[in-house]
């Protein structure tokens, strides 16, 4: 019992990160009908920016105080959002209205470019941050297996909850959220009603990138070891999460992320940890075969 509970905590922490990245995929798909293949790289850049901020703060003699963590978070969000905006401006906007294949390929090009750009400017070696705080909070020890949650795990879960709540509020309650949903439903009609569609799409990329930056920062806190290739596998897994939840559906992305995290945790708990990626990607195949709209997705009605 305790063991399963511990794995549940592990899975939720892992899934929180996947969910944050998956929202970026699903939002962009919702509004322009494209998978943004550069999104995994945006997450990687977010992680690098928070490490750079940390190194800078340490060089200035500042320890791992809450203030430094906030600085890491905000610097990473600000600059990563800029990258998200640039990706849309360079790889998507010039191709608006072009055949679907063209922006797909330009996004893959962008992904390769960003990866190599980070490799060249930051070096190919791993970047590491020592554990900012150690130890864990004991939750339950009635069983023979004491359940604990690491302080960093707790931070990851709490930050993700706050960010997701804020994000859900923005989408459902603000003027921008209404515009965003309007453009998702029918960009032409939205434009006729005076909504700046290009600006809304830009903002969608920016928000997706900001969430990916939070995920990157969480990865730095939690694992502390990053390199320029981390975006690929995290991106593909978050993409799987988005598909599982139903691509285009924001609650679906959060749910899909959590489920993928749980599948990975429980697979390595009870079956072979060697093959946990096989489990994840089998889900992708099965969902695409048997339920292409995912768990919470709506079927795409062809308009005549």
Partner 1 sequence: MTPLRTLVLAAGLTVPLLAHADWLVGVAGPFTGQYASAGDQIKKGAEAAAADINAKGGVLGQKIKLEYGDDACDPKQAVAVANALVNKKVQFVHGHWCSSSTIPASDIYNDADILMATVSTNPQVTERGLKNIFRIMGRDDQQGSVIGQWIASKFKDKKVAVLDDKSAYGKGLADEIAKAMKAAGKEPVLRESITAGEKDYSGIVTRLKNAGVDVLAYGGYHTEVALLLRQADQVGLPLVVVGGDTMTNSELVTAAGQLADRVYFTFTPDPRKNPQAAPIVERFRAAKIEPEGYVLYAYAALQLFEQAVTQAGGVERAKLEPVLRRGKFDTAIGTLEFDEKGDLKKPAFAVYKWTGGSYDYAE
Distances in whole angstroms, Cα of residue 197 to Cα of each of 2, 86, 209, 238: 51, 17, 18, 26
- The secondary structure element, H or E, covering residue 138 is strand 136-140
State yes or no: residue 124 binds partner 1 (CB under 8 A).
yes
State in angstroms the smallest separation of the CB of 181 from partner 1.
33
Residues 229-268, mask of contacts with partner 1 (x by CB under 8 A): xx--x------------------------------xxxxx
Contact 131/152 with Cβ under 8 angstroms? Answer: yes
Number of H helices, E strands in the chain: 11, 4
Residues 142-171, mask of contacts with partner 1 (x by CB under 8 A): ---xx-xxxxxx------------------
Bridge partners for 128 per DSSP: 225
State yes or no: residue 61 binds partner 1 (CB under 8 A).
no
State in angstroms the smallest separation of the CB of 79 from partner 1.
22
- The Cα 26–Cα 28 span in angstroms is 6
Backbone angles phi, psi at 187, to 5 degrees: -60, -35
Q: Which of 33, 131, 177, 251 binds partner 1 (CB under 8 A)?
A: 131
State in angstroms the smallest separation of the CB of 140 from partner 1.
12
State yes or no: residue 41 binds partner 1 (CB under 8 A).
no
Of 155, 151, 157, the closest CA to residue 135 belongs to 151
State in angstroms the smallest separation of the CB of 265 from partner 1.
5
- The Cα 250–Cα 29 span in angstroms is 10
Residues 74-113, mask of contacts with partner 1 (x by CB under 8 A): ----------------------------------------
Of 204, 201, 68, the closest CA to residue 132 belongs to 68
Of residues 164 through 203, those in contact with partner 1 by CB under 8 A are: none
Site residues (vs partner 1, CB under 8 A):
3, 6-7, 10-11, 13-14, 119, 123-126, 128-131, 134-136, 138, 145-146, 148-153, 219, 222-225, 227, 229-230, 233, 264-269, 272-274, 276-277
């Amino acid at each position: 019992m305790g063991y399963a509970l511990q794995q549940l905590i592990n899975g939720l922490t892992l899934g929180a990160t996947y969910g944050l990245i998956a929202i970026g995929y699903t939002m962009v798909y919702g509004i322009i009908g494209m998978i943004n293949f550069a999104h995994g790289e945006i997450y990687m850049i977010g992680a690098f920016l928070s490490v750079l901020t940390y190194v800078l703060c340490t060089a200035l003699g500042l320890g791992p105080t809450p203030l430094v963590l906030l600085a890491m978070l905000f610097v990473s969000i600000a600059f990563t959002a800029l990258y998200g905006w640039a990706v849309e401006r360079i790889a998507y906007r010039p191709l608006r209205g072009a055949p679907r294949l063209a922006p797909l390929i330009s996004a893959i090009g962008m992904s390769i470019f960003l990866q190599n750009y980070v490799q060249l400017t930051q070096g190919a070696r791993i970047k590491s941050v020592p554990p900012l705080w150690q130890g864990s909070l004991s939750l339950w020890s009635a069983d023979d297996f004491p359940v604990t949650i690491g302080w960093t795990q707790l931070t990851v879960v709490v930050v993700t909850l706050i960010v997701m709540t804020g994000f859900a509020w923005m989408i459902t309650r603000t003027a921008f959220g209404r515009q965003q949903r309007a453009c998702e439903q029918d960009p032409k009609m939205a434009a006729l009603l005076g909504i700046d569609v290009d600006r809304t799409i830009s903002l969608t990329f920016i928000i997706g990138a900001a969430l990916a930056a939070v995920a990157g920062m969480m990865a730095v806190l939690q694992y502390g070891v990053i390199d320029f290739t981390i975006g690929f596998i995290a991106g593909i897994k978050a993409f799987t999460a988005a598909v599982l939840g139903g691509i285009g559906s924001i609650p679906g992305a959060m749910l899909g992320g959590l489920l993928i995290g749980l599948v990975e945790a429980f697979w390595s708990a009870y079956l072979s940890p060697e093959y946990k990626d096989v489990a994840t990607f089998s889900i992708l195949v099965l969902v695409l075969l048997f339920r292409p709209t995912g768990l919470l997705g709506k079927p795409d009605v062809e308009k005549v």
